[in-house]
């Protein structure tokens, strides 16, 4: 074919492949003016008021159960919460994504680089979560184009309003412009409190959740993004520099024991509180079951008494039959009227 036709064919094929791979993010050749929209002055002023700036470091946390997305910004005294956004929709249940097509939204720790930003998303704006990460791949988990995007609809992604994703996208863009090569995305099923863990204690994902809770605890104590890696198919944190880890291999002793005392203390306290809360919930469930049984027994006793009384009254008036505790008047012998009312 001629050079011009060949060029057109190749361009069309490229666009078709991009469309097939797009997933939640989508591919839509369009002006990305909305992706370059400046931050509102109100947002810039709010950042300054908390001791940060558009170019400062950024971190994002997502909590599925409460449908919240938090943006944290770096300040001189650690990371501070800039804003919490309501998530419009996320798909699936609590728990990590396992395979392509399960319509689950991922959980875990992800690193967002400029290459994961999608200014041409079919869903207004988007950034890719980076799923599957090193941990996910260690378990053979599959899936592609798992995004945080606009448009309030989800097929395994986290969907925001267009207004929310526009601000989040701009904050990320300015963070990259400020010289930061990436920002961290932490995704949890819920806030990793003892009460929430106890509420879901029988969930089959509990072992995984205990694993990612260490990262949650570290951030709660340090107010800094965690340095994570994977060995023994587990998340590990603050790995000594220069250490190369095999995701499926055994963790070096220096890594396995690299847990600050403050984190150990928090984890132990939360485990104890969780055990107490699980016991309390079990006791509450037992009391509720006992109350329900008591009510059922009382109802059965009342029904039995009603049937007994009906039978007794029926016997007084000549053995009238009783059906389900109700006397049938048609078969009760007539009662003689007082003398004055009798006919002559």
pLDDT tens-digit profile of 1-30? 444 444 443 444 443 333 333 456 554 544
Rounded CA separation 116/136 (Å): 17
Q: Is residue 234 in some structural domain?
A: no
pLDDT, tens digit, for every residue of 44-94? 999 999 999 999 999 999 999 999 999 999 999 999 999 999 999 998 999
133, 170, 156, 128: which is closest to 40 by C-alpha?
170
Number of structural domains in the chain:
1
Q: Is residue 101 in some structural domain?
A: yes
Grade residue 262 by pLDDT with cuts at 50, 70 and 90. very high
Q: Is residue 243 in some structural domain?
A: no
Neighbours of 94 (CB within 10 A): 16
Active site residues: 149, 157
Instruction: Decide: helix, strand or coil at residue 266.
Output: helix
Q: Where is 184: in which H helix or E strand?
A: strand 183-188
> Could you tell me how many residues make up the chain?
344
| DSSP symbol at 332 | S
Report the CATH number that the domain containing residue 213 is assigned in CATH. Answer: 2.40.440.10
Using CA atoms, how far residue 116 sits from 31, 61, 184, 277, in Å, is 18, 17, 12, 41
Higher-confidence residue of 188 and 325: namely 188
Position 32 scores a pLDDT of 83
Position 313 scores a pLDDT of 67
Position 337 scores a pLDDT of 52
Cα-Cα end-to-end distance for the chain:
123
Which residues have CB under 8 Å from 23's CB, separation 6+?
Answer: 144, 145, 146, 147, 155, 156, 157
Q: Is residue 118 in some structural domain?
A: yes
Residue 215 sits in which domain range? 33-226
Grade residue 285 by pLDDT with cuts at 50, 70 and 90. confident
Most distant pair of Cα atoms in the chain: their distance: 125
Q: Is residue 194 in some structural domain?
A: yes
List the Cα angle 103/71/97 in 5-degree steps.
20
Position 153 scores a pLDDT of 77
Q: Is residue 110 in some structural domain?
A: yes
pLDDT at 184 over 60: yes
Q: Is residue 162 in some structural domain?
A: yes
pLDDT, tens digit, for every residue of 141-151? 999 999 999 98
Q: Is residue 275 in some structural domain?
A: no
């Amino acid at each position: 074919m001629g050079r011009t036709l060949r060029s057109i064919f190749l361009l069309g094929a490229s666009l078709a492949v991009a469309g097939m791979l797009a997933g939640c993010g989508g591919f839509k050749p369009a002006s990305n003016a909305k992706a370059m929209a400046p931050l509102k002055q109100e947002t810039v002023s709010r950042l300054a008021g908390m001791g940060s700036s558009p170019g400062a470091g950024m971190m994002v946390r997502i909590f599925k159960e409460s449908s919240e997305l938090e943006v944290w910004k770096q300040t001189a005294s650690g990371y501070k919460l800039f804003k919490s956004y309501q998530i419009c929709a996320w798909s699936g249940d609590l728990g990590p994504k396992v395979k392509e097509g399960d319509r689950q939204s991922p959980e875990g720790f992800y690193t967002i680089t400029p290459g994961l930003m999608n200014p041409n998303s079919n869903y207004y704006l988007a950034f890719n979560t980076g799923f599957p990460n090193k941990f996910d791949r260690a378990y053979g988990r599959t899936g592609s184009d798992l995004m945080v995007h606009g448009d309030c609809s989800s097929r395994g992604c986290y969907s925001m309003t267009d207004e929310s994703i526009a601000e989040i996208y701009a904050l990320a863009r300015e963070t990259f412009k400020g010289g930061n090569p990436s920002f961290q995305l932490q995704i949890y099923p819920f806030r990793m409190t003892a009460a929430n863990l106890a509420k879901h204690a029988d969930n089959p994902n509990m072992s995984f959740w205990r694993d990612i809770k260490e990262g949650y605890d570290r951030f709660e104590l340090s107010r800094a993004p965690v340095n994570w890696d994977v060995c023994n198919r587990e998340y590990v944190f603050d790995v000594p520099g220069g250490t190369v880890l095999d995701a499926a291999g055994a963790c070096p002793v220096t890594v396995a024991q690299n847990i600050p005392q403050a984190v150990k203390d928090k984890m132990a306290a939360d485990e104890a509180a969780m055990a107490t809360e699980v016991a309390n919930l079990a006791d509450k469930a037992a009391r509720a079951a006992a109350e329900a049984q008591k009510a059922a027994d009382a109802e059965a006793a009342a029904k039995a008494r009603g049937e007994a009384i009906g039978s007794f009254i029926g016997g007084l008036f000549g053995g009238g039959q009783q059906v389900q505790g109700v006397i049938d008047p048609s078969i009760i012998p007539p009662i003689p009227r007082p003398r004055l009312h009798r006919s002559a």
